[in-house]
Amino acid sequence: MEFSNRVAVVTGGASGIGRAAVEMFAMRGAKVAVLDVDEAGGAEVAAGIVKRGGEARFYRVDVARAAEVERAIHDASERYGPIDILVTSAGIQRYGTALTTSDEQWAEVLNINLNGAWYAARACLPFMRGRGGAIVNVASVQALASQRNVFAYTVSKHALIGLTRSMAMDFAGEGVRVNAVCPGTVDTPMLHWAASLDPDPPSVLEACRAMHPIGRIARPEEVAAVVVFLAHESASFVTGAVWTVDGGLLTLIGGAPRVVTES
């Protein structure tokens, strides 16, 4: 899968799945705009790609601020040409129920996880309409199910699936494909931050490992590989789709008793 002469924008590109996607696109020939609020991490990613002979530029962007998103994408198009690919990987996790989530937490999560994806798509779509393009939204298994105490996060990820399907239908006739990936637990800074909230972080990571039938936590590049496929012409007949990349997590019926049979 080559991306020569393609221009890709990746939000949340400084770490985790976003970073892995940035590096895969660049390795395969794309010119990549890396958008992230993490200035040190984003600059490091872009500099590493340039050092290896690729083309990448970092933009310090808070995706919750539409004007910042639009400015960065406009500059990337001026520098590299029309945008061909958008990956929305910027996201945060917060904990709480419908009663314990504050207005501030609710706004923070929805503004980044949902509005940020919309703002980026809104800025990229004009370049794609009529000439083709691909958008891949990084959702979560919690876009399809839920754990307890993750009210705002689950709502934001469920809504991201609606955003994906709506845009897929609205722009299919103009050559734009829009899909989503729903990862299970992935070895990212966000996972380790969440585990650090527990008195025994290693036990949290072990529980995450054990709940996946495949027997481990995903590496960021394993999810990024699916993102890159969906962005490529190899997936030319795929739009409005929701791909689980979860090690079998959602296939398992939780709480099922172990049944021993004799052969």
Each residue's pLDDT tens digit, 124-181: 999 999 999 999 999 999 999 999 999 999 999 999 999 999 999 999 999 999 999 9
pLDDT value, residue 198: 81
Phi, psi of 61 (to 5 degrees): -135, 135
Positions of E strands within 126-238: 133-138, 176-183
pLDDT value, residue 255: 63
Nearest of 163, 195, 159, 189 to residue 178 by alpha carbon: 163
pLDDT value, residue 202: 86
pLDDT tens, 217-239?
Answer: 989 999 999 999 999 999 999 99
What DSSP state is assigned to residue 216? S
Determine contact, residues 25/10, Cβ cutoff 8 Å.
Answer: yes
pLDDT tens, 4-36?
Answer: 999 999 999 999 999 999 999 999 999 999 999
Share of the chain above pLDDT 90, in %: 83
Chain mean position to CA 200: 28
Please say if the pLDDT value at position 261 is more than 70.
no
pLDDT value, residue 262: 57
Element (H, E) at 11: strand 7-11
Catalytic residues: 153
Positions of E strands within 155-224: 176-183
Global pTM reads 0.93
User: Which pair of structure tokens corresponds to residue 20?
Assistant: 């892995």
Q: Where are the domains of the chain?
A: 7-247
pLDDT value, residue 263: 52
Q: Could you tell me the fold of the domain covering 7-247? A: Rossmann fold (3.40.50)
Sheet with 31-36, edge to edge strand ranges? 55-60, 31-36, 7-11, 85-88, 133-138, 176-183, 242-245
